[in-house]
């Protein structure tokens, strides 16, 4: 990457097989989005307790892990899986070595989603189905 080249989803997707560039762009956009959310969460979480008390009103009281940390953990795991999927697509030295139909490639990389299909969250969730 040249010094002045901005790191964009489009730039990152250049390394993907032409047939998978739309998916690579989508994954790159998701990675950027999640990274920003993780940075925001990290700032918000610095003063939060790891463990919180609960009282469900039914004579049950106790402590449990603060739900905001569970949300953070889930986002970190999703971020890592999305980044790995993106790296798998653009990591080949010669993207033309990918063989098979577009659907076979999507299945091989677990990328069975499209912009016309579902919400942004559904697209990311599709990465987990392995």
Considering the domain boundaries, does residue 115 fall inside one?
yes
Beta bridge partners of 54: 62
Closest CA to 106 of 2, 17, 20, 37: 20
Let me know: does 105 contact 19? Beta carbons within 8 Å: yes
Considering the domain boundaries, does residue 75 fall inside one?
yes
Long-range contacts of 66-73 (CB under 8 A, 24+ apart): 68/41, 68/44, 69/45, 71/41, 72/38, 72/41, 72/42, 72/45
Give me the mean pLDDT over the 44-50 stretch.
88
Q: Give the structural domain span for 93.
A: 9-123
Considering the domain boundaries, does residue 33 fall inside one?
yes
Type and span of the H or E element at 28? helix 21-45
Considering the domain boundaries, does residue 31 fall inside one?
yes
Place of tokens 């069975």: 112
Considering the domain boundaries, does residue 2 fall inside one?
no
Considering the domain boundaries, does residue 129 fall inside one?
no
Considering the domain boundaries, does residue 16 fall inside one?
yes
Place of tokens 């959310």: 37
- The alpha carbon torsion through 13, 15, 19, 24 (nearest 10 deg) reads -30
- As for how many domains the chain has, the answer is 1
What percent of the chain clears pLDDT 70, i.e. is strictly above it? Answer: 66
Give me the mean pLDDT over the 28-57 stretch.
90
- What's the pLDDT at 4? 67
Give me the mean pLDDT over the 33-58 stretch.
89
Residue 32 — pLDDT band, cuts 50, 70, 90?
very high
- What's the pLDDT at 99? 60
Considering the domain boundaries, does residue 4 fall inside one?
no
């Amino acid at each position: 990457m040249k010094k002045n080249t901005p790191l964009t989803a489009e730039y990152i997707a250049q390394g993907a097989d032409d047939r998978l560039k739309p998916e690579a762009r989508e994954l790159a956009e998701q990675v950027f989005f999640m990274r920003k959310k993780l940075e925001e969460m990290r700032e918000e979480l610095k003063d939060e307790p790891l463990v919180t008390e609960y009282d469900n009103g039914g004579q049950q009281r106790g402590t449990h892990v603060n739900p905001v940390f569970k949300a953070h953990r889930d986002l970190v795991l999703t971020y890592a899986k999305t980044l790995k999927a993106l790296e798998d697509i653009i990591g080949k030295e010669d993207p033309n070595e990918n063989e098979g139909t577009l659907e076979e490639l999507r299945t091989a990389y677990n990328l069975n989603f499209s912009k016309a299909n579902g919400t942004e969250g559904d697209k990311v969730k599709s990465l987990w189905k392995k």
